[in-house]
Structure 1
Amino acid sequence: MTTPTAAFGARTVFRIGYGALQLERLHDRRDEAVALLRHAVELGVDHVDTAEFYGFGFANHVIRKALRPQDDVLVVTKVGADPDPGGRPPLRLAQRPEQLRASVEDNLRSLGVDRLAVVNLRRLDTGPGLRPEGDQVVGLDDQLAVMTALRDEGKIGAIGLSGVSLDNLRRALPAGVVCVQNAYSLVSRDDEDMLRLCAAEGIAWVPFFPLGGAFPGLPKATDEPAVRAVAESLGVTRAQVALAWLLHHAPNVLLIPGTADRAHLEANIAVGGITLDAAALATLDAVGSRSAETPSG
């Protein structure tokens, strides 16, 4: 297997980070949420993924309280959507340049920092879920202009992209892209060409929905007979096998599985120690890939 660390821009991080979305489940148990994130750091996590719309700012509040400067944790946030309490889903798109700038300012305040290390521009070109409509259909060049301006101002350290198409990634390369977050899993590998481009360009590939099954009716990696067979042979869970496959598949893959449960957190971190031999990899590679696209409505 590849090493347990990989490049993320100018940093080297442990390949298994933590996605803060699930912290929202501990909204009424704030101290427990802080303790969970502290435990992740104790286990070696040095890359945390968040957004202002995760729990309407709750995730960022927990990160601000739990992390200390000496932890040297890379906190990556995203813009392109804002919280929308009461909405379905509870977020609204915020793709216009002035909205991207406002979202950066919101993250700076809620995280209590003067500079955001990495900010992902959530483009929504591809993958399951919402699509921009009306005044939210904004050209990539206009978005990159404000993102690079924010970087020049020192408010952003580096720029990433999320939900991006291959063509738009190519167009964005001159702006300096350190990571791409797209829906990607064993059972949804439409972005294989983009993954290869990222590997060639030294860009971290940080898949969301790494187990598939983002919405009802979409395939789940854990339902695959091949995943079940490999898990049984190794004495690990099916989810661990599906995550381990991602780490084995390409050296620039970084994982950000989220959880609100301490035991589940430990199981996720343990994936870094799972070795898949050639036979197991061949079995898993043979699993058919099915698109993660769903109707945007």
Structure 2
Amino acid sequence: MLIIDDSNFFVKCITDILIDAGYEVIHASKGEDGLRLVKEEKPDLVLLDIVMPDMDGFEVCRILRETESNNLMPIIILTSQDNQEDKLIGLELGADDYITKPFNNRELLSRVKNTLRRIDRNRGANPLTGLPGNLEIQAEINSRIVKKVPFSVIYVDLDNFKAFNDVYGFAKGDIAIKLTADILSDEIRYNGNKDDFIGHIGGDDFIVVTNCEKAYKICKGVICQFDRRIKEIYEDEDVKRGYIFTFDRFGEFIKYPIMTISLAIVSNETQRFEDHIQIAEIAAEVKKKVKSFSGSNFAKDDSN
């Protein structure tokens, strides 16, 4: 933790609280020194006072957020006054939270822990969809395996996505990815459970973890929504034609159907898994089978 504050009293109070909680603490009494320590030490979190002798905390926050490598470094603003304007300015400049002096030990530690937890989730999230990425996906599946509760994993993949990307461009491809994420989220909201999980593996690959009873209904709902809504991002003439076309490097005319969606279900109802890797391997085989069908489809692993 890096504290940037010129008040020795508050620095000692904060340092004692954080050290007792198991954190390592470094300190700068001036904005310039704080900026230097950020570069040298790469702190996990910055506690930044507003009023300082050389430059105020707002300016320090602004400079830190101008550097891309600091975008995910959590910053908590410290202010001596219960001033709403100061809080708003700090948040607008990119601070993650604020603490009004004086504060109690519990408030400080709660805000520090919550901010670190939130930033860790953001670091693991897919930047395009905001959904949890591979580390959280693996942790979620492994957690359910350890708990020995029945569950189903649905692997989701788009068909003909690369061709769409080639013809329409990456910006439109991103829209297709976001649309898929929205459809999955909507379907879980309507037909899933509160503890269901949606993750974004990367590209056009997603994952849903649900209970065994809901897997089929979710897959049917996703297909229904996807087949209807995906046409909205195509040009009307392509939708009417039923395919898009491009030319390969030899000048040969190639046509590709409108995008569809394939879903592969793997369940622990009749088999036991040791980790997420086993599930991924089985899902890859099921997905290969589903993608061999025409149109949007889903299938479940039937191995024992």
TM-score interval, smaller chain: under 0.3
Higher strand share: 2
Q: TM-score, normalised by structure 1?
A: 0.26
Which structure's CA Rg is the greater one? 2
Q: TM-score, normalised by structure 2?
A: 0.25
Higher helix share: 2
